[in-house]
Structure 1
Amino acid sequence: MADLIIRLEELEITMFLGIHDFERARMQRVLVSAEITVTGTDWQAGRFFDYDRVAEFIRSFNGSRIDTQEELVSRIHAFVHGLDGVAHAAISSKKPDVYPDAKAVGVVLRG
């Protein structure tokens, strides 16, 4: 059976994320995406990857405080890699409201 790639794109959460005073003073929007390669799935046999667990874990960061996007994606990446059947994951975060002349600032962790 071939591997599947599951994509969760730009799940929006709101949290304190950053090291600068203005980032610590108010919550900001953060968009999180995951691309997860899974093995051992067979929809005909009822074996599938439950991506609800990933979405709920990401949503659990709503209202939290983390200093860097690197820490955020590392935590999510570790959680995803702990799930059965995960062979590879790329987790990204981006902050769309940092600079008025940029679409977003983000970080990607692959492995």
Structure 2
Amino acid sequence: MNSILLAFGAIDARLATGCRALSLRRHEAAVRIGVHAHERLAAQRMWFDVDLCVKLDHAPAARDHISETLDYDFIRDVIAREVGSQHHELQESLCDAIAAALLQSPGVHAVRVATRKPDIYPDSASIGVERVCIKPW
């Protein structure tokens, strides 16, 4: 696996050296999403991949205690809140909303959010959208 910190560091070296990366992979949720009539009938499986760059002063891990970092429940809670119970038209707007909500956390300095719908085409593993957002220093 490639280092997400090095990938963020290619954008701004301070992200690689001043942050800790936290990630959530292939988190699955049932989402009401899509523009086609048949997509409005039931929720669809979606996968979410999230990477956060958390400033080291917000995740120092100086002690072996959850208070020393960002709790992964926060990431899952944001996804659940943004998915909500309403119907979403586009993966793009849902992905953007999740990224923006994650970035609101004081310690989070950069985010990468990827969404995937695995059950769309029989000849494809999934379709998806990805977004990267960074706060100004």
1:75 matched to 2:89? The reply is no
Structure number with higher strand proportion: 1
User: Residues 71-110 of structure 1: matches in 2 within 5 Å?
Assistant: 71-110=93-132
Moved more, 92-101 or 63-72: 63-72
Question: Structure 2 length normalisation: TM-score?
Answer: 0.75
How big is the shift at 1:90? 0.5
SS at match of 2:115: strand
Indicate the structure (1 or 2) with the bigger Cα radius of gyration: 2
The two structures, once aligned, show a CA RMSD in angstroms of 1.6
Structure 1 residue 33 corresponds to structure 2 residue 49: yes
Counterpart position of 1:6: 22
Partner of 1:18: 34
Q: In 1, are the aligned partners of 2:50 and 2:112 still within 8 Å (CA)?
A: yes
| Contact in 2 for aligned 1:27/1:63 (Cα 8 Å) | no
SS state at 1:55 partner: helix
Alignment partner of 2:111: what SS? strand
Q: Which runs of 5+ in 1 are unaligned?
A: none
TM-score under structure 1 normalisation?
0.91
Task: Note the alpha carbon deviations across 1:20-76, whole angstroms, 9 max, x for none.
Answer: 111112211011110111102211155311221111121232543100001111111
Alpha-carbon distance in structure 2 between the residues aligned to 1:82 and 1:27: 27
Q: Which runs of 4+ in 1 moved over 6 A?
A: none
Q: Which residue of 2 aligns with 1:42?
A: 60
Q: In the alignment, is residue 52 of structure 1 matched against residue 68 of structure 2?
A: no
